Amino acid sequence: MMMRRVNVRRLTLMAILTAIALIIFIIEAQIPMPIPVPGVKLGLANAVTLFALFYGAKVRGENLHNGASRMPRPINVQIPYIKHPSASSPSLTTINVFTILLCRILLGAIFTGRPIVVVYSLVGGILGFVAQIIMKRFVSSKQIWVCGAFGAVFHNIGQIVAAMVITGTPAIIMYLPILIIAGVFTGVLTGLIAQLTLSRLFS
């Protein structure tokens, strides 16, 4: 029988982040965007993904080019286990963050009532995630907005490709320029949100 030691604190953290992302996703789904282009949305739930990625990084001491302190000072935050980010805090590996993303996508598709959307979300979400983990190598923790921008752009590219394949209409690629522009702007926004949250936590 295989015995596995489960890090309960990490699991709890992941669950909380998933829940937060899910709630953001569902609320955002209720708000119609002014631009009549399929796939344009704020993607705020991605801020949680970015937060999780760089949170794990910070705890492990990565991405610290700007001379930020390696030993974070304790601050007054209500969320358990994040209160004292320190060596004993749960780290989140990339796979953990990916799990959070997957769960949020699947649950989000169920809760927003249109399961078919899950295909588009998955393709976009995974591609965007891959882009983000690649870009994370080139970026410091003060530049999460860059990561966010690339993530959003590739998320949109993924959705366009999915739409092209599913509808069998290659002409949908014409939407790409608009979606890339939207991706850059919304990606910077969500990236900044993650960045500011993180920096408050670690300063």
Residues at the interface with another protein (CB under 8 A): 32, 36-38, 60-65, 114, 116, 136-140, 142-143, 146, 149, 153, 163, 167-172, 174-178, 180-181, 184, 188
- Shortest spacing between CB 32 and another protein, in angstroms: 6
The token pair at 37 is 């282009």
**Following CA atoms 48, 26, 148, 189 in sequence, which dihedral angle do they give, to the nearest 10 degrees?**
-100
> Of 92, 103, 162, 94, whose CA–CA distance to 127 is shortest?
162
- Residue closer to another protein (CB basis): 5 or 137: 137
- Residue closer to another protein (CB basis): 9 or 65: 65
- Residue closer to another protein (CB basis): 86 or 167: 167
Place of tokens 């979606």: 179
Separation of first and last alpha carbons in the chain: 44
- Shortest spacing between CB 79 and another protein, in angstroms: 25
> Cβ(201)–Cβ(85) under 8 Å?
yes
- Shortest spacing between CB 187 and another protein, in angstroms: 9
For residues 167 and 127, give the distance between their C-alpha atoms in angstroms, rounded to a whole number: 20
For residues 190 and 58, give the distance between their C-alpha atoms in angstroms, rounded to a whole number: 18
Tell me how far the alpha carbon of residue 192 is from its chain's centroid: 12
- Residue closer to another protein (CB basis): 84 or 142: 142
- Residue closer to another protein (CB basis): 12 or 167: 167
- Residue closer to another protein (CB basis): 68 or 82: 68
Q: What is the DSSP string of 75-114?
A: ---SSTTTSS-STTSPP--HHHHHHHHHHHHHHHHHHTT-
For residues 49 and 114, give the distance between their C-alpha atoms in angstroms, rounded to a whole number: 22
